[in-house]
Amino acid sequence: MFGILALQGGFGLHQKALERFDIQSQLIKKPEALAQVQALIIPGGESTALLKLMKLLNWKEAIIAFAQQGKLILATCAGLIILSRPTSVARDYLGLIDIEVKRNAYGRQINSFVGLGTSLLGISPLKIVCIRAPEVTFVGQDVEVLVSLAGRPMLLRQNNIVAATFHPELSPNHSFYRWLTQLIS
């Protein structure tokens, strides 16, 4: 079963996307609920607001422990930002995937876009929906780039962490979620 972090952002759309494949999920608002799920989705939203809520509710340690158990985590957009490497500017990032990011790299909301990404997943072409999206500026040696758009990494994986700069829940092709369920051990 998937848990979807339901503190802020687009958690409801992830749940609807999973429902299309009859994949069970539950919205999670407290860290204790992680014990009931095999995978976690950290949705897009506003990374600063999400980090504040996570700190208030002691989520950081719970998510790190969940990842250390080898359980799957999908982080999209703001979720990707939160799981990236801490920097001198953003010390609260969790460092669960060896990437560095630039927030809102493509501009304001009005600069949102849709593109077709080249994919190593067998889902081709993959529709990439970017809304105030981050850009991955550094990819560590152990990180695999699974989808790119115009040479930019858009979907990455390091062990049990999958991170997307885009919003797969907004794509009409939800086969991405079918692929994701195959990663649950």
* Catalytic (active-site) positions: 77, 167, 169
Amino acid identity of residue 20, one-letter, is: R
Bridge partners (DSSP) of residue 40 are 3, 73
